[in-house]
Amino acid sequence: MVLGCSAADRRTVGSVFFSPELAPAQARRLHGEGAPVNHFPDGSARVSASRLTWRAGFVLGGRLAEGVRVSYLHHTLVADEGGSAAAGFTEAVEVVVRRVLECTGIRLAPEIDFVGDWPQRLRPAS
């Protein structure tokens, strides 16, 4: 993820969100909007979380929380040059999950392992 990145984009927590599985209507709608929807042999369809982040209006380099912003090169989260803390990344994840859900109707699930009560607020309902 960091190959060819400027020094400003090298501080990342890695992949932040799983690529969500889509309902058939969601897959058709996103495909119609030009999103690269991936179809799998088991019949499931997924779209990249980065595409949904872009679709929700987040901009490259945009600040999300104290010390955390969107990368300058792609729609993933990185630590700002001034540093960040776990609380900043947690807040940024919550901001992205909430806005993507509001804009697309799709709830992102974090790949990050949280400590404490964080997963209860961020994980999709079963």
Q: Are 52 and 76 in contact (CB under 8 A)?
A: no
Q: Are 109 and 48 in contact (CB under 8 A)?
A: no
| Lowest-confidence segment of 15-19, 32-36, 38-42, 50-54 by average pLDDT | 15-19
Diameter of the chain by CA atoms? Answer: 44
Q: Are 77 and 96 in contact (CB under 8 A)?
A: yes
Q: How confident is the model at residue 72 (pLDDT cuts 50, 70, 90)?
A: confident
Whether the model clears a pTM of 0.85, i.e. scores above it, the answer is no
Tell me which residue of 29, 17, 25, 24 sits closest to 43, measured CA to CA.
Answer: 24
Predicted pLDDT at 44:
94
Q: Are 114 and 89 in contact (CB under 8 A)?
A: no
What digits encode the pLDDT tens for the residues 80-97? Answer: 767 777 788 889 999 999
Predicted pLDDT at 1:
46
